[in-house]
Amino acid sequence: MPITTLSNIRALALGPELPASFVWLKDNALEDKASGAVVGGSLVAFAPGVSELHQRDVLQSLLLAQLAANVKAERHKDPVAWFKAYRSVLEQTAWVVAASSTATRYLPRVSKFSATTVVNDTFREQVAPEELACVTATVDTYRSDLNGASQLVFECPSHAGGIGNFQVALATEEDGTVSVHLAQVSFNAPQHVTRLMLEEFTNTAKFQVGFLVLIQNEEVYATVRSAIAAKVDSRFPGAVVFLQLP
């Protein structure tokens, strides 16, 4: 596991600064309910009970990892190298890998399917039914937010033409410890994809899926929390949008 230091985090290259476009609006009363968010090319589901502090930690960490990985590798054209850099950043920021699986070909059970099908099938094998429901609700809410800011934040980073690389994460908290179950999905399809989660694919589309389980080392993270926040501060408003789950 990489050693987490302030100098490592501050040295991470994130590319040119971008202007803030959207504001992070969060109802703190929703901590006891399932909630969701978009952070760059990732959809994030929060199970009930994840504190506001840990929600912010998860979003800032995932944003930092995406931005740093974008500098190291081409997100859409080389998802393997990109995800290697992405995982490395998370480990450097006090997220401990508790379990992982190498990306393998997703084999659809039907002739036509969607990226939502891929996500649900992946999480169904990894989490409890009530946790899967949080993931499904987050994806469905995103799908229905057709004219919302979440579409702008997610679509461009997640795919280009017929290739793509996106993540879906589920954050849970137990006894003050937050964990993240994360599906890493990349694909190469013969069609031009417009709205990723609404697109219909056939078995000519090749999806690769890997999975990570990460646990935050709170003691170490506390020493770098402010540095991580400062690193992504200028990007955060334009890269994170909360989803209002039903």
Tokens 């100098």, residue located: 7
Mean pLDDT over 203-224 rounds to 97
216 found inside a domain: yes
Backbone φ, ψ for residue 99 (5° rounding): -160, 150
Amino acid identity, residue 131? E
- Please give the residue range of the domain that contains residue 197: 48-234
34 lies in a domain?
no
197 is a domain residue: yes
| Residue 165 confidence (pLDDT) above 70 | yes
User: Model confidence at 41, in pLDDT bands (50, 70, 90)?
Assistant: very high
Overall domain count for the chain = 1
State the alpha helices, DSSP H only, in 98-217. 115-124, 129-144, 149-158
Report how far residue 56's alpha carbon sits from residue 229's, in angstroms, rounded to the nearest whole number: 9
What confidence category does residue 3 fall into, taking pLDDT thresholds of 50, 70 and 90?
A: low
The CATH number given to whatever domain includes residue 53 is: 3.40.198
Confidence of residue 88 (pLDDT cuts 50, 70, 90): very high
- Token pair of 170 as six digits: 């589920």
Amino acid 12: pLDDT: 75
> Average pLDDT in the 157-186 region?
98
> Does 246 score more than 70 pLDDT?
yes
pTM of the model: 0.91
Q: Is residue 239 part of a domain?
A: no
For the cut 60, the answer to whether the pLDDT of residue 48 exceeds it is: yes
Whole-number Cα distances in Å, 214 to 44, 157, 206, 218: 14, 22, 26, 12
> Residue 188 CB: number of other CB atoms within 10 A?
16
Query: What's the CA gap between 64 and 86, in Å, rounded?
Result: 9
Residue 17 lies in a domain: no
Locate tokens 């084999």: which residue? 107
pLDDT (mean) for 176-198 = 97
Q: Is residue 170 in some structural domain?
A: yes
Task: Please report which confidence band the pLDDT of residue 57 belongs to, taking 50, 70 and 90 as the band edges.
Answer: very high
Residue % of the chain over a pLDDT of 70 = 89
Average pLDDT over residues 146-175: 96
Asked if residue 205 belongs to a domain, the reply is yes
Is 119 within the bounds of a domain? Answer: yes
Residue 199 has pLDDT above 60, yes or no: yes
Mean pLDDT over 118-145 rounds to: 97
What pairs with residue 215 in β-bridges? Answer: 96, 179
Output the six-digit token pair for 21: 């476009």
pLDDT computed for residue 10 by the predictor: 67
C-alpha torsion angle, residues 87, 151, 36, 219 (rounded to 10)? 30
State mean pLDDT over 83-99: 97
List the structure tokens of 24: 């992070």
d(CA 184, CA 109): 20
Q: Is 27's pLDDT higher than 70?
A: no
Tell me the pLDDT band of 46, cut-offs 50, 70 and 90.
very high
Q: Yes or no: say if 160 and 189 are a contact pair by the CB < 8 Å rule.
A: no
pLDDT at 24 over 90: no
Model pLDDT, residue 6: 67
pLDDT of residue 31 exceeding 80, the answer is no
The pLDDT assigned to 32 comes to 80
